[in-house]
Structure 1
Amino acid sequence: MSVIQRVVKPTTRKGKKVLLSREPQVIEGPKRMLFLQGRRASEKVRKVLSDLYDIKKPDARKLSKKNDITIFENIVPMEQLCRKNETPLFLFGSHNKKRPDNVVFGRMFDYSLLDMIELGIETYNGFNEFSNRKISLGTKPCLIFSGPEWESSEELKHLKSIFIDMFHREHVENVRLQGLEHAISFTAANGKVLLRSYKILLKKSGCRTPRIELDEIGPRIDFTIRRSKLPSEDLMKQACRKPKELKKTVKKNISVDGLGTKHGRIHIGKQNIDKLQTRKMKGLKKTTEERALDKTRKRKSMDSEDHEIRKKIKAN
């Protein structure tokens, strides 16, 4: 059954600005994420949702009410909630006898399901079980992916991409060493995904480069991979399409040498140098003596031409 969507046209300047902000941008900002739970959720699932929500804040929205959604059977209610809250990412927690302590990571493309992966929580240690100092709100984390399975398994490839979208914040060109405060490690081994969170401490080392220590701050979660729903190649290609403004165009006749110096080649037609206007300043005009010399040179050249012509006439 197809749903006909109503086309909203702005009537005010503020409404037009809001609709323009919802359109695709050349450089996307941090993606917002929706945290919600199903009909039943265990205490472990609720704590996992709460801890991941604290890491994702302020680019997150958490729903406190329970939602009667069976996400793998009917995805339409989730798409409607993501559209309503303007969140292209979602984390759905549930618990039942067949799949206990269950969470689903997923993302949308144009508010239609792109991909989602279901994980089971085996072990969990939350923020409260670590007594050390936590990180500040909105810190951009350093993501570390360990294990060859991240590149060999299609499910883990998509899960890695979801984690990157989830913890990605503002786009930056350079990174300051003192700005690296938080590191999140993801290890894939034997069908499990191990999540660890560390606070980066810069210690004195006696030289310019500091000594780095990692202090675990939580949460510590061990996931097992369960079900997944992956997109088709055409849909994934459409979702990963880059805008024209970001594509690098090759400039002709420009090269860079080994030292980084840029060289350019210019092609121009033939020019008559004798007719170029070079004297425009009043102080660079010809003097009377230079004019007299030019006149005498012209007379001599004309006389020599006349003399050669006369010779040819006599010879004939």
Structure 2
Amino acid sequence: MIRSTKPKNARSKRALENREGKLVENVKTALFIPTHTSNQALHDITVDLSNMKKPFMKKFTKKNQNKDLLPFDKADHTNLEFFSDKNDASIIILSSNNKKRPNNLTFVRFFEYKVYDIIELQVVKNFKLMQDFKKLTYNVGLKPMFSIQGDIFNTHPTYKHIKSLFMDLYRGDSSSQVQDAKALQYVISLSVDGEYDETVSNKLPNVLFRVYKIKSYKSNNNSVVNSNTGKLLPRIELEEMGPRLDFKVGREQLPSADMEKEAMRKPKQAYGANNANNFKMDKNIEMDVMGDKLGRIHMGKQDLGGLQTRKMKGLKPRYDQVDYEAMEDDYLNNEEEDLGSDEEPYTLEQEQEILEEPSRKKAKK
């Protein structure tokens, strides 16, 4: 590994400071390395993929003869970590070809110059390059738009990995500056070939990688009207510009739980706290890969008795209905108990006197 030494001049000091962690990280650099088994088809494919990544990319022109470079063949990742550290690359794309895995691209992501995760994507033969389409160009260094089609990219862990990989590779500058509409020139589309049903088959469908050029035309009568300004919006059409790649999902290696937690951790200042000492993280709030804020709300049991409602006169307690049947049953039960007791019953004359006794009331003043 490269030894960390004290900078000798201002230039080397600035270079080391540029590698340090920042609140808003630099655009991730991708390194394309052809292995000793790479072929001409993989060379042409990596040329198109690297052109979409310019200027934040580096590409080795000669084949690397080191057979220990492939991560799934060797448990030691020292060589890959060396290239990542020396070239300050967060993503390395290795191209290899053999009988068992033809036209294979291995995507390796790094965190702190250590291997984070790995996935293999094999290019199916029916691919097309940019040169096979009508010559369409776009400016270098622009951020693309993404079109992720299918719920499988949000549910299946392997396809969530692929979605995160390509968005990490081509997301560009992650600053909060709003991009001009003229800079939106092309779209990267990810979809799957057919529908995936885990109960029917365990075979994963292919990933369809497409790139489209955005073309704007003069608005017509069928154009959409802007609700704010009342003006007609320009008519937008998409034209495929390449490359057109179908990926077959291969082997995969996910990061450990500790490394994933450390990589996803955000500094206090990233949450907009004015003072780090008074910082308090909001619980149950997270951000998805598209930058949308998601929150979870826990609702407690509501006490409906304390609600202030409009009360009717008939709902007062004194107007409660009396259950006369229950009162009659209680009276009969009490009468049976009195008949079964040892006390002497009233005579007919005593009962007559009780019934005829007038009620005592207080005289009104």
TM-score, structure 1 normalization: 0.75
1:48 to 2:45 alignment: yes
Q: What do residues 107-144 of structure 1 show as CA deviations (whole Å, max 9, x unaligned)?
A: 10011100111011113100110123221222211111
The count of aligned residue pairs is 249
Measured after TM superposition, the shift of residue 33 of structure 1 is 0.3
CA distance, structure 2, for counterparts of residue 27 and residue 33 of structure 1: 18
1:76 to 2:78 alignment: yes
1:205 to 2:219 alignment: yes
Aligned position for 1:138: 141
Aligned position for 2:319: none
1:152 to 2:155 alignment: yes
SS at match of 1:64: coil
**Structure with larger Rg:** 2
Identical-pair percentage = 33
SS at match of 1:82: helix
Measured after TM superposition, the shift of residue 250 of structure 1 is 9.3
Structure 1 residue corresponding to 2:180, chosen from 147, 151, 176: 176
Aligned position for 1:118: 120
Measured after TM superposition, the shift of residue 176 of structure 1 is 2.7
1:221 to 2:245 alignment: yes
CA distance, structure 1, for counterparts of residue 21 and residue 129 of structure 2: 36
Q: What do residues 139-185 of structure 1 show as CA deviations (whole Å, max 9, x unaligned)?
A: 21111111111111112212211111110212243233222111110
Q: After TM superposition, where is structure 1 displaced by more than 4 Å over at least 4 residues in a row?
A: none
SS at match of 1:93: strand
**8 Å CA contact retained: 1:150, 1:188:** no
CA distance, structure 2, for counterparts of residue 237 and residue 151 of structure 1: 19
CA distance, structure 2, for counterparts of residue 133 and residue 14 of structure 1: 40
Measured after TM superposition, the shift of residue 15 of structure 1 is 2.1
1:15 to 2:12 alignment: yes
Unaligned regions of 5+ residues in structure 1, if any? 253-316
CA distance, structure 1, for counterparts of residue 8 and residue 40 of structure 2: 47
Moved more, 49-58 or 184-193: 184-193
**8 Å CA contact retained: 1:106, 1:162:** no
CA distance, structure 2, for counterparts of residue 172 and residue 246 of structure 1: 12
Aligned position for 2:61: 64
CA distance, structure 2, for counterparts of residue 146 and residue 196 of structure 1: 12
For 1:88-107, list aligned pairs within 5 A: 88-107=90-109
1:233 to 2:257 alignment: yes
Q: Which amino acid aligns with 1:21?
A: N
Aligned position for 1:246: 270
* CA root-mean-square deviation: 1.9
CA distance, structure 1, for counterparts of residue 128 and residue 150 of structure 2: 22
CA distance, structure 1, for counterparts of residue 88 and residue 118 of structure 2: 18
TM-score, structure 2 normalization: 0.65
Measured after TM superposition, the shift of residue 208 of structure 1 is 2.8
Moved more, 134-143 or 8-17: 8-17
SS at match of 2:61: strand
SS at match of 2:60: strand
